[in-house]
Chain A
Amino acid sequence: MDLHIVAPLASPEERAAIDAVLTPLIGAPASGRAAGERPYEEAHLAHGGHEARSRRDLLLPALHAVQDRIGWVSEPAIGYICRRLTIPPADAHGVASFYALLSTRPLPPTAVHVCDDMACRLAGSERICADLQRALGPEGEPVDEGGATWFRSPCLGRCEQAPAALLTVAGDPARRTGGGPVSGPAILDLLRDGSGARPLGMDDAVDTDGGTSPTEARLARIRRSVPQAGRTGLRLLRRIGTIDPTSLEDFVAAGGYSALRSSIEMGPGAVIDAIVAAGPVGRGGAAFPTGRKWAAVAAAVARPKYVVCDADEAEPGTFKDRALLEEDPFAIVEAMTIAGFATGAERGFIYIRGEYPLGEARMANAIASARSAGFLGADVMGAGLAFDIEVRRGGGAYICGEETALFASIEGYRGEPRNKPPFPVERGLFGGPTVINNVETLANVPWIVLEGSDAYASRGTPGSTGDKLFSVSGHVARPGIYETEFGPTLGEIIDLAGGVRGGRRLRAVLLGGAAGVFVGPDALDMPLTYEHAAEAGATLGAGAIVVLDETADLLDLAARIARFFRDESCGQCIPCRIGTVRQEELLARIRSGRTRGSVQDELALLADLGRAMRDASICGLGRTANEAIASALRLPGVLA
């Protein structure tokens, strides 16, 4: 490949940001050419082409570095990354323009991303957007040089703090922080202040205290997100709020790494047998048996193998993984190491959505601490086991939660899913056999190893073993993350969260997020297990429960979901790329009353669309993009 780079040389600041990421990993530019020069003595000489090209997976981290430092990614910056990594600039432009959190247009250093998705919508996010629009102009349009801009954002995974926002301030170091509840005036005060010290919403304090404040104070704050924190009897959440998540010593003192030690004593085969017998299924939404995945990768002949943790938790209404990443990150490191040991993988990746800066920082810290203490690296725990983990940050793309899209994103390509088969256990990350598990799924692993598959399988139901985390938000008294064993009904979970707020009547529940379905009050008696949900034509998804009382505008929420899928479709296949546009237009007509033909005609068209999208789309995004909308319109009284 003969690189043809037309952009002028990147600014010193852009180059410094890029080199800060690339140089530790691939070395300084090997020739003047990589730095954009062509000195005479190198006229017929070029170094590093093949080697650099093999590190295309560093493209996204390098783009993030520029976005973090400057606030947007210029073509010269892309050109410099391309020189360093030997990537065609058109390809890199295609990647940079794929992600919502990267901007290829000039933007001021400061941007506020206001969540206007399900729970935040119910909590008044439109008022915040109106305030910001008045003060800062239309979204994405900076008012003046050096000012700030704002964006609407899909779910930020802070539904229990609704309305929430994400603040990004470019610089060295960049400030990226999420928090809530926020208000328009408070955000504008923060922007005017300029000191960078003011917290964004109440929970932002968690981001800045480094996790080291006294346990009681921490616990009180964490209970705002995890109301059960500190209680006994919890499995998945048992360490949340009770240990310092930045301290490996705390983790080990609280029983950490005993599961890895047991695993090494048991041997890989016995670990996989235990997972298979315990029977957990994937908690990310697809509910595939975890043990079968592990066994398939362990049996695969091809090398190298990979372990990937999908921490791209972007399903609207879902925020459970955020708590695990932020408050018990070592548990994920330990579980990934067990997965690597059991399946014979030596490299792991954890892909964390870009909207979770604290989770990313805590994971990066946990991995570094574990590595320096010998829990990761060439000889884990002195057992001759080699395993290490790299953190990758998503760029604001829901589709990257789809496993094959996530692989493409890590590899430095556009986050587009591919046709399956082949499945990841045969051909996954970098073409190798890959175990890919959700954060919560992995959190089950140490528990299974330590307590045995019988003890695990004795909880829940035969079809849904173990415990589940539910993200409960919307019109409930105590929104938050709740752990229960599988089996309680939807009504019981809502009661656990304090019931419908203000004594109002329940109107509906969005189960499973945007890819889920709306159910009416008649579903309160449905036990929340995979088998019962499937039987009722619903889905648990990743366990999102957005509770809606009689004041909720279901058509508005359905329209928001339609907008979500229009924005988040990767654009690859026709049914999803154009179908998501058409169903948003159709909902706009229903809402405005200017239907084409009767409402029944529109519903028939929506059903036609939904069926084709479900049958013919490449991946789960297109296949489910119609379900929630159609189910909302089916609820009594919505199309009155």
Chain B
Amino acid sequence: MTAHRDRPPLPGPEPTGSRPTRPDDPPTPLSPIVTDVPAPSPRIPAAPPAPHRPLLDMTIDGRPVAVPAGSTILEACRAEGIDIPTLCQVEALEPAGVCRLCVVDTGGRALTPSCSTPVTEGMDVRTGSERVRHARRLILELIGSAVRMDLAGPELPDGSVAAWMAEYGADPTRFGPPAPPAGPDERDDRHAGHHRAPDGAVAETMAQPVKVDNDYYVRDYSRCILCYKCVDACGAEAQNTFAISVAGRGFDARISTEGNVPLPTSACVYCGNCIAVCPTGALMTRTEFEMREAGTWDAAAQTTTETICGYCGVGCTLSLTVQDERIVRVLSPLGHDITRGNLCVKGRFGYAFVQSRPTDAGEARTG
């Protein structure tokens, strides 16, 4: 099963292993077992050479550059150190090209989404023209006027939405004060092609109650920009569970389980891979949600520790967010060439035993 949206093929994984290492890691000692590995048998063919990717000549902001064929415009620009804001682009998933924040000018009738467009020979890309900046400003104003963006950004690789708003001079309040939030499940019940006529006094928003229906994670669709990342991660691009999809149409489009049933009834397996790719905090672990509600989530006091998941033989890399000597969140590096950021329910949520204290479980548990 493949998603219908056509996308250009992504370039293959980088040849170097991308397991993050910390600068203070001691040099890894070679164990005798490793050194004793015999030379590869001649019967086992060597790995094929990495495919040759010819260089294409193009210009970015007037600068001539040579870019490997198959790269996207975004990759080419980032390789040149040019910052292009993105919301719906996540390195582990194929580009959806829907937030349109990354548009650049390639001289066409409309602007081009850089995240999903492959470079072509002779392409002339403008990344910061007035036309591009206008489109980005309006997109930031529109999304800011409809969606809670206060958690979008701080952990994005390239800056925060608040910083972009300032940079592009975006003012989301231009469209009027926000309308009152929708009732529980009210947005999930809307019929495509029909809506209540607005009076224009207030700006309609995505605001709605947080969906809290299970112990693992919450869904705050007031923060959802419909970037399709969670759907892709749940479906054909990672998990193959297909528990969620986009339902409805237009502004009433929403992420939904089958028939909008609660998660425990749905096909969800709680791998949490959707949380890992959500760029706006719409999907959040229950722990993080409750700590934020209680005001105890303190990013400044958190450290990250990498380890290997002990549950099975796959050996996924875990990236533990630790605050006050307790694990508060488990991620896996999106760039990791084995996990690509994905975990299962055990790796992502099965950490309570680590911090089980004698006081928690009685005197029998001492270790």
Q: Using CB atoms and an 8 Å cutoff, list the residues of chain A in contact with chain B.
A: 1-7, 53, 75, 78-79, 88-94, 97-100, 102-105, 139-140, 151-152, 154, 396-397, 404, 407-408, 411, 413-414, 416, 418-419, 422, 427, 431, 563, 566-575, 577-582, 584-589, 592, 594, 596, 605, 608-609, 611-612, 614-618, 623
Tell me the complex Cα distance, A313–B318, Å: 53
Of A53, A397, A431, the contact of B1 (CB 8 Å cutoff): A53
Q: Is the CB of A571 within 8 A of B191?
A: no
The reply to whether the CB of B203 lies closer than 8 angstroms to some CB of chain A is yes
**Binary interface encoding of chain B residues 135-175 relative to chain A, with 1 for a CB under 8 A from any of its CBs, else 0:** 10111001101100000000000000000000000000011
Q: A75-B258, A154-B193, A579-B142 are in contact. List 20 more A-B contacts (CB 8 A).
A: A6-B267, A91-B242, A104-B259, A151-B194, A407-B4, A413-B3, A419-B7, A568-B193, A571-B249, A572-B98, A573-B100, A574-B98, A574-B139, A574-B142, A574-B143, A582-B175, A594-B199, A616-B110, A616-B138, A617-B100
CB within 8 Å for A571 and B250 given contacts A89-B267, A419-B97, A588-B198: yes
Contact A88 B138 (CB under 8 A): no
Decide yes or no whether B311 CB sits under 8 A from chain A: no
Indicate which residue in B103, B226, B243 contacts A616 across the interface (CB closer than 8 Å): B103
Q: Could you say which residues of chain A place their CB within 8 Å of the CB of B250?
A: 566-571, 577, 580
A616 touches B139 (CB 8 A): yes
Tell me whether B176 and A585 are in contact (CB under 8 A).
yes
Q: Are B240 and A1 in contact (CB under 8 A)?
A: yes
Inter-chain contact B6/A612, CB cutoff 8 Å? no
A86–B271 alpha-carbon span in the complex (Å): 22
CA distance A616 to B143 in the complex (A): 14
Q: How far is the CB of B350 from chain A (nearest CB, A)?
A: 21
Q: Which residue of A lies closest to B102 (CB)?
A: A616
Task: Count residues on chain B whose CB falls below 8 Å from chain A CBs.
Answer: 69
In this complex, the member of A97, A411, A582, A614 whose beta carbon has the largest number of chain B beta carbons within 10 angstroms is A97
Bound Cα distance A418, B201 (Å): 34
Taking a contact as CB atoms closer than 8 A, the residue among B139, B142, B195, B266 that contacts A6 in the complex is B266
User: Which stretch of B22-30, B50-58, B111-119, B324-332 is in the interface?
Assistant: B111-119
Find the residue from A98, A152, A615 having the highest chain B CB count within 10 A: A615
Which of B97, B131, B226, B251 has the largest count of A CB atoms less than 10 A from its CB?
B251
> Which of the residues B131, B204, B245 comes within 8 Å of A91, measured between beta carbons?
B245
Most buried by A among B6, B97, B146: B6
Among candidates B99, B146, B200, B257, residue contacting A588 with C-beta atoms closer than 8 Å: B200
Contacts of B116 in A (CB 8 A): 419
Partner of B134, one of A568, A605, A608: A608
* From B4, B201, B256, contact of A413 by CB (8 A): B4
B113 nearest CB across to chain A (Å): 6
Q: Which residues of B contact A422 (CB under 8 A)?
A: 6
Q: 7 A-B residue contacts at CB 8 Å? A: A53-B1, A100-B249, A569-B251, A578-B251, A580-B250, A581-B203, A616-B103
Compute how far the CA of A157 lies from the CA of B230 in the bound complex, rounded to whole angstroms.
38
B254-291 near A? 1/0 per residue, CB < 8 Å? 00111111000111000000000000000000000000
A581 to B203, CA, bound (A): 8
Cβ distance A11 to chain B, nearest Cβ, rounded Å? 16
Task: Tell whether, in the assembled complex, residue B110 and residue A90 are in contact, meaning their CB atoms are under 8 Å apart.
Answer: no
Residue contact B6 to A418, C-beta cutoff 8 Å: yes
Nearest chain B CB to A359 CB, angstrom units: 20
Q: Which of A152, A570, A612 has the most CB of B within 10 A?
A: A612
Return B118 CB to nearest CB of chain A, in Å. Answer: 9
Contact A93 B1 (CB under 8 A): no
Q: Are B251 and A577 in contact (CB under 8 A)?
A: yes
Most buried by A among B145, B175, B249, B259: B249
Does B246 make an interface contact (CB < 8 A)?
yes
Q: Which residue of B lies closest to A399 (CB)?
A: B249
A566 to B353, CA, bound (A): 50
Kindly state the separation between the CA atoms of A19 and B260 in the bound complex, as whole angstroms: 25
Find chain B residues with CB under 8 A from A414 CB.
246
- B65–chain A nearest beta-carbon distance, Å: 21
CA distance A99 to B249 in the complex (A): 8
A89 to B256, CA, bound (A): 11
A124 to B142 alpha-carbon distance, docked (Å): 35
In the bound complex, residues from chain B placing their C-beta under 8 Å from that of A140 are 191, 194
A567, B174: Cβ atoms closer than 8 Å: no
Chain B residue contacts of A100, Cβ below 8 A: 191-194, 249
In the complex, which of the residues B117, B131, B139, B192 contacts A98, with contact meaning CB atoms closer than 8 Å?
Answer: B192
Asked if A585 contacts B175 (CB within 8 A), the reply is yes
| With A75-B258, A616-B135 as contacts: A585 and B203 at CB distance below 8 Å | yes
Tell whether, in the assembled complex, residue B145 and residue A578 are in contact, meaning their CB atoms are under 8 Å apart.
yes
Whether B100 lies near A616 (C-beta < 8 A) is yes
Complex interface: chain A residues within 8 A of B103 (CB): 615-616
Chain B hits for A596, CB < 8 A = 174, 176
Nearest chain A CB to B271 CB, angstrom units: 13
Docked Cα-Cα span, A411 to B117, in Å, equals 23
Shortest Cβ distance from residue A117 to the other chain B in the assembled complex, whole angstroms: 12
Interface hub of A411, A584, A616, A623 (most chain B Cβ within 10 A): A616
* CB of A171 to closest CB in B, whole Å: 22
Nearest neighbor of A91 in chain B, beta-carbon distance: B245
**B182 to A: closest C-beta gap in Å:** 14
Q: Which residues of A contact B100 (CB under 8 A)?
A: 573-575, 616-618
Q: Which residues of A contact B203 (CB under 8 A)?
A: 581-582, 585
Q: Is the CB of A98 within 8 A of B249?
A: yes
Contacting residue for B198 out of A5, A416, A585, CB 8 A: A585
Q: Which residue of chain A lies nearest to B243 when distances are taken between CB atoms in the complex? A: A90
B267 touches A90 (CB 8 A): yes
**A515 vs B283: C-alpha distance in the bound complex, in angstroms?**
37
Q: Which A residues are CB-close (under 8 A) to B99?
A: 573-574
| A7 close to B251 (CB less than 8 A) | no
Interface flag for B189 (CB, 8 Å) = yes
B253 at the interface (CB under 8 A from A): yes
The answer to whether B134 and A581 have CB atoms under 8 Å apart is no
Residue from the list B98, B199, B201, B257 in contact with A573, Cβ < 8 A: B98
Cα A100 to Cα B249 with chains together (Å): 9
Q: Nearest Cβ distance between residue B293 and chain A, in whole angstroms?
A: 28
Chain B window 197-229, contacts with chain A (Cβ cutoff 8 Å), 1 for yes, 0 for no: 111110110000000000000000000011000
What's the least CB distance linking B185 to chain A, in Å? 12
Q: With a CB–CB cut-off of 8 A, which chain A residues contact B101?
A: 574
A88 close to B245 (CB less than 8 A) = yes
Are A571 and B226 touching (Cβ within 8 A)? yes
Q: Is the CB of B191 within 8 A of A103?
A: yes
Contact B197 A588 (CB under 8 A): yes
Q: A75 vs B188: C-alpha distance in the bound complex, in angstroms?
A: 14
- Measured in the bound complex, the distance between the Cα atoms of B242 and A1 in whole Å is 8
Q: Which residues of B contact A618 (CB under 8 A)?
A: 97-98, 100, 113
Instruction: For residue B265, give the distance in angstroms from its CB to the closest CB of chain A.
Output: 5
Q: Residues 90-113 of chain B: 1 if any A CB is under 8 Å from the residue's CB, otherwise 0?
A: 000000011111010000001101
Distance, CA A578 to CA B3, complexed state (A): 24
Closest 8 CB pairs of A and B: A100-B193, A88-B242, A571-B253, A612-B138, A94-B245, A588-B200, A4-B267, A589-B200
Tell me whether A566 and B251 are in contact (CB under 8 A): yes
Does the CB pair A571–B252 fall under 8 Å? yes
Partner of B195, one of A1, A98, A396, A566: A566
Q: How many Å from the CB of A282 to the closest CB on chain B?
A: 16
Q: Which residue of A lies closest to B6 (CB)?
A: A418
**Whole-angstrom distance between the alpha carbons of A53 and B266 in the complex?**
21
B193, A397: Cβ atoms closer than 8 Å: yes
Who on chain B is nearest to A100 by CB? B193
Kindly report which residue of chain A lies nearest to residue B142, judged by CB atoms. A578
How far does the alpha carbon of A585 sit from the alpha carbon of B177 in the complex, in Å?
A: 12
Contact A567 B195 (CB under 8 A): yes
Partner among A98, A396, A563, A573 whose Cβ is within 8 Å of the Cβ of B248:
A98
Which B residues lie within 8 Å of A572 (CB)?
98, 226, 253
Quick check: is B247 within 8 A (CB to CB) of the other chain?
yes
**Smallest Cβ distance from A330 to chain B, in angstroms?**
32
Let me know if A90 and B192 touch, CB within 8 A: no
Cα-based distance from A607 to B153 in the complex (angstroms): 29
